[in-house]
Amino acid sequence: MNNASTASTELLRTPLHALHLELGARMVEFGGYEMPVSYPGGILAEHHHCRSSAALFDVSHMGQVRLTGDGADRALETLVPSDIIGLGADHQRYTFFTNSTGGIIDDFMVARRSAGGGSGNDLLLVLNAAGKTADTTHLRTHIGLRCNIQPLPDQALLALQGPKAVAALIRLDPGVTALTFMTGGWFTLNGAACYVTRSGYTGEDGFEISVAADKAEALARALLALPEVKPAGLGARDTLRLEAGLCLYGHDLNDRTTPVHAGLTWAIQKVRRHDGAREGGYPGAKVIEAQMANGVPHKRVGLVGLEHVPVREGAILSDIKGRRIGLVTSGTIGPTLGKPIAMAYLAMNHTALQHEVSAEVRGQPVPMRVQAMPFTPHHYFRG
| 303/345 Cα distance (integer angstroms) | 10
Give the pLDDT mean for 334-357.
98
Give the pLDDT mean for 305-316.
97
Q: Is the predicted pLDDT of residue 288 greater than 70, yes or no?
A: yes
Beta bridge partners of 55: 161, 230
Q: Is the predicted pLDDT of residue 257 greater than 70, yes or no?
A: yes
Q: Is the predicted pLDDT of residue 115 greater than 80, yes or no?
A: no
How much is the pLDDT for 10? Answer: 87
| 73/148 Cα distance (integer angstroms) | 11
Domains of the chain with bracketed CATH = 56-217+245-295 (3.30.1360.120), 297-374 (2.40.30.110)
How much is the pLDDT for 101? Answer: 98
How much is the pLDDT for 330? Answer: 98
Quote the radius of gyration of the chain (alpha carbons, Å). Answer: 21
Give the pLDDT mean for 274-291.
98
Query: Residues of the chain with pLDDT > 90: what percent?
Result: 95
Q: Is the predicted pLDDT of residue 118 greater than 80, yes or no?
A: no
Q: Is the predicted pLDDT of residue 6 greater than 70, yes or no?
A: no
pLDDT tens track for 29-77? 999 999 999 999 999 999 999 999 999 999 999 999 999 999 999 999 9
How much is the pLDDT for 7? Answer: 42
258, amino acid identity: T
CB burial of residue 231 (10 Å; 0-12, 13-18, 19+): buried
pLDDT-derived band of residue 5, with 50, 70 and 90 as boundaries? very low
φ/ψ bin of 353: left (φ > 0), alpha (ψ from -120 to 50), beta (otherwise): beta
Give, as one character, the DSSP assignment of residue 250.
T
Beta bridge partners of 319: none
How much is the pLDDT for 9? Answer: 61
Which one is predicted more confidently, 3 or 55? 55
Other C-beta atoms closer than 10 Å to the C-beta of 169 total 27
Give the pLDDT mean for 250-272.
98
Give the pLDDT mean for 99-109.
98
| 151/162 Cα distance (integer angstroms) | 29
pLDDT-derived band of residue 86, with 50, 70 and 90 as boundaries? very high
pLDDT tens track for 150-206? 999 999 999 999 999 999 999 999 999 999 999 999 999 999 999 999 999 999 999
Q: Is the predicted pLDDT of residue 22 greater than 70, yes or no?
A: yes
pLDDT tens track for 193-224? 999 999 999 999 999 999 999 999 999 999 99
Dihedral of the alpha carbons of 156, 161, 165, 171, in degrees to the nearest 10: -10
How much is the pLDDT for 3? Answer: 41
Residue 262 CB-half CA count within 13 A = 31
| 184/195 Cα distance (integer angstroms) | 7
Closest CA to 157 of 121, 106, 200: 200
DSSP per-residue letters across 328-346: EEEEEEETTTTEEEEEEEE
Averaged pLDDT of the chain? 96
How much is the pLDDT for 352? Answer: 98
**C-alpha dist (Å) from residue 239 to 45, 235, 260:** 12, 7, 24
How much is the pLDDT for 290? Answer: 98
How much is the pLDDT for 2? Answer: 41
Give the pLDDT mean for 5-19.
79
